Structure 1
Amino acid sequence: MAVMEDIRGPDLRHATADLDPESFTWLKELSYKENLTSLNLVKFLKSATKEYQYLDVGCGPGNFLAERLLPRLHPFARVVSTDISEDMIQYAQEHHKKPKVNFEVLDIEKGDVHFIINMYGLFDRLYSFLTFHYIWDLPKVYRNISRLLKDGGECLVVYFTRTGITDVWHQIYQNEEWQLYMPDLSSMFAERYCFNEPVDEKKLGDLEKSAVKAAGLELVACHTYSSVWTFSSADACLGAYIPFFKLDSRVPEEKRAHFWDTWRSALREASVSKDGAISLVYDVIVVHSQKPSTSAAQAQ
């Protein structure tokens, strides 16, 4: 990632395009838990066939697709897996190349989805796991999703609305001593994302419903739930998260011990368990929508 000055400001949310692919895999078992929970919550309206074409939005390094999602989708015609980051897509191509799976760089919010349509046609089902907390313009993204789906096609979106780790990060960032070395997460995560305050589930649900409806989609179901992520110690938690933003290289050597002690103290305070392990609460929203079929739309 470039120096801190290069990622400040309104485009900081696109610093996610520069995250290290390998570091994403260190949290895979915990993130898999949320993805699989959401898949078990949702009942798709249409049964998949071997002719189905799927789109994966925000695939990251591609490990969840390869290890968990693809076995659920077989047999299929094609899966197109996308991410905003060229590095992520390159990593996915190198490590998770599979038959009938294509990887493409796509910014679902600011990019042009028509090149995907021109190359692959429309999709029967779209998945997006743990990506939409970076999406600022929900109506625009759902309009793009509507363009990508076939009539009757379905969409599953899963993302965080608040997490214990971002609460701690945001809290530490308020200390001017550390602002030079840490991204301002409130500029990266969507405006509706919550820091150090309760999640207004009704408000978030209404925002989703409004954006889905404005895009010409129908909201099938919207679920919210809380999960607990547990790490064996504060250092184990830091070891999993800090590489995302390469903070080791940003904090001066003479300040690092104090910096890590600040993090350890804040993590222990935020933990919902007090036995030495670090247990943090993660709030999740699961949104299932469908593009109406032409016949159904005409009947209405």
Structure 2
Amino acid sequence: MSVETALSTPNRRTRTRKLRTSKLHTDKFQVTKMHNADLYQQSNNLQKRDALLCLEKHASKIKWKNSNNKIIDIGCGDGSVTNMLKKYLPDNYKLLGCDISESMVNFANNNHCNEQTSFTVLDIGGELPLRMENNFDHVFSFYALHWISDQKRVYRNIYNLLEEDGECFLIYLACSPVFDVYRILARKNKWATKLQDVEKYVSPYHDSTEPDKEIIKIMEEVGFDDIDVECKEMVFEYNDVDMLRKAVTAINPFNIPKEQYGDFLEDYMTVTSEMYRVDKANNNFNITFNYKLLIVYGHKPSNKSY
């Protein structure tokens, strides 16, 4: 079982105006890229923990309409966080979860769909369907947008999804040791070919000293106002090696052949153990991840076209 704690330290925050408001069996869990919804549901403790923390703090500040709130959750994955979001919504809503992965969307529809909630395939880094433009009062996204390198396009698409006077609330990674491990493995001859596009899967802000300012600049250029961006230092502790193995496999973005994945996972764990000086000889597994989380709010003004 993992132990999760949030680090209460001063955080970088920039704003333009006050916020208005035992060993993993890789044959059983084989996945070459992050499309195994069942495994993701079992291992996304960090994502759910952080989504819950941010919603508890900020949801009461969101400005809801009196009726018919139309909401979209970008990068819904297996739908478990989308399901958590419902607790913070007003009674009168329609909620659409979307993800680039068809298998994730199918899992979410099979497990979390009802008369107010449905799920569909959408690539937020690509072309928006015209029927979705100017169609939502609120855009949410949890742990998805760091996978997309073209951040200007992401924010332009979010802006275009919103109706006038709509709001977005987004959380995603600025930097994480996961990305450092990817880069280390990519430099090894053994994995260089398989991980040659490694930078596509590193957060655009991983090396940034001021990610909040970069995001504010993008959002202002797109047309948002009332922008609030916080870069928060976080901690998550793994004291169960199997839980970490599952978490790594669930978000693996690389096309690793099935027969090589067990070897890849072992190399990933070795690099991680060396980074954190894990005492494997005494079976003392404990890793504390320090990472930075972006918490973003923006408002689409009325009577202003992009």
Asked if Structure 1 and Structure 2 have the same fold, meaning a TM-score greater than 0.5 normalized by the shorter chain, the answer is yes
Name which of structure 1's ranges 34-43 and 81-90 shifts more when overlaid on structure 2.
34-43
Greater share of helix: 1
Question: Residue 229 of structure 2 corresponds to which residue in structure 1?
Answer: 222
Q: d(CA) in 1 for partners of 2:193 and 2:176?
A: 23
Q: Which runs of structure 1 show a deviation greater than 6 angstroms over 4 or more consecutive aligned residues?
A: none
Percent sequence identity over aligned pairs:
22
Matches within 5 A, 1:129-148: 129-148=142-161
Q: d(CA) in 1 for partners of 2:168 and 2:240?
A: 37
Change in Cα spacing, 1:188 to 1:264, as seen in structure 2 (3 Å) is closer
CA drift at 1:290: 0.3
Question: Residue 191 of structure 2 corresponds to which residue in structure 1?
Answer: 178
Cα root mean square deviation, aligned: 2.8
Contact 1:172 1:263 in 2 (8 A): yes
Name which of structure 1's ranges 50-59 and 234-243 shifts more when overlaid on structure 2.
234-243
In structure 2, give the amino acid aligned to 1:271.
Y
Contact 2:75 2:144 in 1 (8 A): yes
Q: d(CA) in 1 for partners of 2:35 and 2:96?
A: 21
Matched, 1:116 2:125: no
Matches within 5 A, 1:28-177: 28-42=44-58, 44=61, 46-66=63-83, 68-117=84-133, 122-177=135-190
Q: d(CA) in 2 for partners of 1:157 and 1:251?
A: 35
Contact 1:24 1:244 in 2 (8 A): yes
Describe the superposition over 1:246-291 as per-residue Cα deviations: whole angstroms up to 9, x where unpaired. Answer: 75724288xx3xx555433322233388752122222111110001
In structure 1, give the amino acid aligned to 2:198.
L
Aligned residue pair count: 267
Question: Residue 4 of structure 1 corresponds to which residue in structure 2?
Answer: none
Change in Cα spacing, 1:110 to 1:248, as seen in structure 2 (3 Å) is closer
In structure 2, give the amino acid aligned to 1:218.
D
CA drift at 1:39: 2.1
CA drift at 1:126: 0.7
In structure 1, give the amino acid aligned to 2:167.
E
CA drift at 1:176: 0.8
CA drift at 1:34: 1.3
Contact 1:181 1:251 in 2 (8 A): no
Q: d(CA) in 1 for partners of 2:167 and 2:136?
A: 9
Structure 2: runs of 5+ lacking an equivalent: 1-31
Structure 1: runs of 5+ lacking an equivalent: 1-14
| TM-score normalised per structure 2 | 0.77
In structure 2, give the amino acid aligned to 1:115.
R
Contact 2:179 2:202 in 1 (8 A): no
| TM-score normalised per structure 1 | 0.78
Q: d(CA) in 1 for partners of 2:233 and 2:157?
A: 29
The one of 288, 291, 299 aligned to 1:282: 291
Describe the superposition over 1:101-145 as per-residue Cα deviations: whole angstroms up to 9, x where unpaired. Answer: 12121112212241224xxx6211110111110222222222222
Matches within 5 A, 1:238-257: 238-245=245-252, 247=256, 249-251=258-260, 256=263
Contact 1:273 1:279 in 2 (8 A): no
Name which of structure 1's ranges 176-185 and 27-36 shifts more when overlaid on structure 2.
176-185
Change in Cα spacing, 1:145 to 1:262, as seen in structure 2 (3 Å) is closer
Q: d(CA) in 2 for partners of 1:36 and 1:272?
A: 31
Q: d(CA) in 2 for partners of 1:48 and 1:272?
A: 51
